[in-house]
Structure 1
Amino acid sequence: MDIGFTYLVLLCVAAFCAGFVDAIVGGGGLIQTPAALVILPGLPVVNVIGSLKIPAFSGTGIATAQYLRKVAVQWKLILLVCTLAFCASFAGSQVLTLVPNDFMKPVLLVVLSLVAVYTYTKKSFGQAQQKSLAPGKEMLVAAISAISIGFYDGFIGPGTGSFLVLAFVGLLHFDFLKASAHAKLVNLSTNLGSIFLFLLKGKIIWAIALPMACANALGGFVGARLAIAKGNGFIRIFFLLVVVGTLLRFLYDVVK
């Protein structure tokens, strides 16, 4: 498919910015997805979303590799979460091919408003790891989060990384750096679930997906290195900015 060199460059710039933001605290889809929908208005939405899963996976993969070099991972927990998230994302992408998804946006608008207010007012939120939950409860909370956020990523997508960070910080009491590392692993699984479904359906446009994947990976590398170097305080500020950006985006979608 020939979309024109200028359009492809614009898509790659958006992919780099998305990879950079996503590596730090998630939410890169808020840059990449709207940009692609604006630049490619003639394509079916499902094809655009399906194609964007490839750069999302590449950027998250590069960022994950950087985090794993510096952050200890709870592998027993993460294997359960990633498996459930993969299955839930596959199901969400299947639903995307069948029904519209606009009804979710008012709900997300309310949730993001609460997240932004809470993060801003609670200065200690995510600054240090708090007392861990009991193992059984931790697994249950993680499983519920994986299924709900995984389905959302397959179905709608933008903001998934931020929701995962929020779940690990707010529900499992991780600090922001550890939460970001674990969120990246789960996000890899949700992207894989969607990619598997979209491959089966033949919805991925590789002429768009592959160049954007390279740009997103570069952004992910730069963003992850910056987040690791700056630590929790920097990630908290970036988290707030991304949540507010997500909030404004959904507000626009709801009121337009």
Structure 2
Amino acid sequence: MELELSLLLILGGVALLAGFIDTLAGGGGLLTLPALLLAGLNPVNALATNKLQGTFGSGMATFMLLRRRRFAETLAGLRRPFLWSLGGSALGTVLVQLTDSDALQVLVPVVLAVIALYFLFSPGAGSVTRAPRLSARLYERTVVPVIGFYDGFFGPGTGSFFSLTGVALRGQDLITATAQAKALNFASNIASLTLFVVGGKVLWVTGAVMIVGQMAGAWLGSHAVLRGGARLIRPLIVLVCLAMLLRYLFG
């Protein structure tokens, strides 16, 4: 399926905005996936192409934040949760093709509401590092693969879920939690994208144009994380979660 140049440029612009938002708060797919569907792609091609451009965006954000030393963990320390996220996503991507995901239409709005309320009514959350409620090992082996599974199985809001659990369960400050969320989201994207590519579902020309916009937005977003910090991230997480909640309820 070939899209007109004007439509490709619009999709590139949408991807730029989505990459910026996704780096700070997650939920960029709230913009890009509907845009691809409105452009006339069938749902499977839209999901696959969206995963392609999203993978490059999360990869760019991870690279920039790693370069600026915003990860509390070393590369060795990130290896285990990265692999757990990748494995969970791979399993979710396989199972979504075999099972009915309608139950998530009920569950996801509830989770999004919880995230929005947590950051809205806990203004001190993520402002400083706190004592973790879960050990690193338990977090890596339970929470991370579950969220990775969700990303492969369904997807929207994965970055917000990783950020929330980093703050609430691991006691991380919000910038550290956001940085780690990008790395773990990158892992889950890689696994899901690989399976879509093997299945021949990706539209490469459309994806390539959106990759340019997504990477530019992620580059800008990573700088905003460093400069704006929690003051910018927290309200964006609330707004994105509420926007996604409204979409699920009334879309």
Judge same fold: TM > 0.5, yes or no.
yes
What is the SS of the residue equivalent to 2:206? helix
Runs of 4+ in 1 over 6 A off after TM superposition: none
One-letter code aligned to 1:9:
L
Offset at residue 133 of structure 1 (A): 4.9
Question: Could you tell me which residue of structure 2 aligns to residue 122 of structure 1?
Answer: 122
Offset at residue 128 of structure 1 (A): 1.2
Q: How does 1:177-256 map to 2 (within 5 A)?
A: 177-253=175-251
Q: How does 1:1-256 map to 2 (within 5 A)?
A: 1-40=1-40, 43-68=41-66, 69-75=68-74, 76-133=76-133, 137-253=135-251
**Cα RMSD over matched residues?**
1.6
Q: How many residues align?
A: 249
Structure 1: distance between partners of 2:102 and 2:13: 27
Conserved? CA contact 2:33–2:50, under 8 Å = yes
Unaligned runs of 5+ in 2: none
Percent identity, please: 32
Conserved? CA contact 2:131–2:170, under 8 Å = no
Structure 2: distance between partners of 1:99 and 1:3: 31
Classify 1:44/1:97 alpha carbon distance in 2 versus 1 (closer, same or farther; 3 Å).
farther
TM-score by length of 2: 0.93
What per-residue deviation string (whole Å, max 9, x for no partner) do you get for residues 175-203 of structure 1?
A: 11001110111011001001111121111
Q: Which moved more, 1:30-39 or 1:94-103?
A: 94-103
Structure 2: distance between partners of 1:53 and 1:27: 13
Structure 1: distance between partners of 2:163 and 2:24: 10
Conserved? CA contact 1:63–1:223, under 8 Å = yes
Unaligned runs of 5+ in 1: none
What is the SS of the residue equivalent to 2:98? coil
Conserved? CA contact 1:142–1:172, under 8 Å = no
